[in-house]
């Protein structure tokens, strides 16, 4: 996350350790820590070879990989600049003056520059601004930066967001506060592989997550108690496999969009209150 004296990202210095048992780091150049399988991944704004050597010595761990890259390369070679989706303008903290949503994209997914995020935000904005639907509650599964949650909260929707990446949870909470919607968003650290979210009474469920997780959710009957679902995180080539896990007789496709090779589905179960009107 951005902390003074930093107000934007320039270069990223990334250290992968052979442990997830990483001590608290209070260094001013520190951005955040991820866990991936059994590796801890630490991000800094500047070269921290000496700091990391000392940390490894003190904590009996080893750097197994390290990288120094530009922030644009981290975000698939794209500069993060302001953009508009539906009724919302979004800008990064360093270029967000006057935007409806001002985002610290940090080093987690959800800057708005991936086609899945962009199209999901467009759908979230479309359905939360449709007066007949009155979308009051939303689940944001795999929230990343929290952008989709904030997009809905800006329309007055109460959002329960979750992610299994502790840094994503921290970034999403900080972004909710930055955008004055913290009273509308709760962020929980949840692993969707082991915990199925409760969808009963939820108007909108958004899941931009990898296809294996979607397959697992699709196959869980209790997952289908919400009213409307937006799914993404998969490519056209993965659609047949996903469809095989979906009981297509008990859901109705409202939209199926493609941006390049990336798909977004909007689906309502036959039991949805939104279909009965």
Ligand X SMILES: C[S@@+](CC[C@H](N)C(=O)[O-])C[C@H]1O[C@@H](n2cnc3c(N)ncnc32)[C@H](O)[C@@H]1O
Q: Note whether 191 binds ligand X by CB under 6 A.
A: yes
Q: Quick one: 89 or 164, whose CB is closer to ligand X? A: 164
Please state the closest distance from residue 20 (CB atom) to ligand X, in A. Answer: 15
State how far the Cα of 201 lies from the Cα of 221, in Å rounded to an integer.
15
Burial of 21 (0-12, 13-18, 19+ CB in 10 A): exposed
C-alpha dist (Å) from residue 36 to 62, 179, 239: 15, 29, 26
Of 105, 144, 197, 269, the one binding ligand X by CB under 6 A: 144
Q: Quick one: 32 or 110, whose CB is closer to ligand X? A: 110
Contact flags string 88-127 toward ligand X, x per CB under 6 A: --------------------xxx-----xx--x-------
Reduced to 3 states (helix: H, G, I; strand: E, B; else coil), residue 153 is helix
User: What residues numbered 163-182 form the site for ligand X, per CB under 6 A?
Assistant: 163-165, 168
Of 105, 151, 233, 269, the one binding ligand X by CB under 6 A: 233
Rg (CA), the chain: 19
Q: Note whether 234 binds ligand X by CB under 6 A.
A: no
- Buried/exposed 151-180: b ≥16 CB within 10 Å, e otherwise: bbbbbebbbbbbbbbebbbbbbbbbbebbe
State how far the Cα of 277 lies from the Cα of 268, in Å rounded to an integer.
13
Q: Quick one: 93 or 147, whose CB is closer to ligand X? A: 147
Give the binding range for ligand X (CB under 6 A) out of 4-12, 130-138, 184-192, 239-247. 184-192
Contacts with ligand X, residue ranges (CB under 6 A): 108-110, 116-117, 120, 142-144, 147-148, 162-165, 168, 190-193, 208-209, 213, 233
């Amino acid at each position: 996350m951005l902390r003074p004296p930093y107000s934007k990202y320039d270069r990223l210095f990334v250290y992968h350790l052979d442990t997830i048992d990483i001590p608290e780091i209070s260094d001013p150049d520190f951005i955040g820590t991820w866990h991936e399988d059994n590796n801890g991944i630490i991000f800094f704004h500047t070269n921290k070879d000496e700091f990391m050597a000392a940390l490894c010595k003190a904590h009996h761990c080893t750097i197994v990989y390290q990288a120094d890259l530009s922030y644009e390369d981290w975000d698939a070679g794209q500069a993060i600049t302001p953009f508009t989706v539906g009724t919302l303008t979004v800008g990064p903290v360093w270029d967000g003056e006057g935007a409806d949503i001002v985002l610290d994209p940090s080093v987690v997914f959800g800057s708005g520059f991936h086609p899945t995020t962009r199209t999901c935000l467009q759908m979230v904005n479309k359905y939360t601004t449709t007066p007949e639907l009155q979308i009051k509650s939303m689940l944001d599964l795999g929230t990343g930066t929290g952008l989709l949650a904030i997009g809905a909260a800006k329309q007055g929707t109460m959002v329960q967001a979750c992610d299994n990446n502790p840094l994503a949870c921290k970034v999403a909470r900080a972004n909710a506060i930055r955008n004055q919607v913290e009273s509308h968003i709760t962020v929980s650290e949840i692993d969707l592989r082991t915990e199925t979210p409760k969808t009963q009474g939820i108007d909108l469920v958004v899941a931009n997550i990898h296809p294996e997780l979607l397959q697992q959710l699709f196959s869980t009957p209790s997952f289908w108690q919400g009213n409307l679902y937006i799914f993404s995180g998969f490519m056209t080539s993965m659609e047949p496999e996903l469809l095989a896990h979906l009981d297509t007789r008990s859901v109705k496709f409202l939209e199926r969009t493609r941006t390049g090779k990336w798909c977004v589905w909007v689906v309502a179960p036959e039991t949805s209150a939104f279909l009965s009107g």
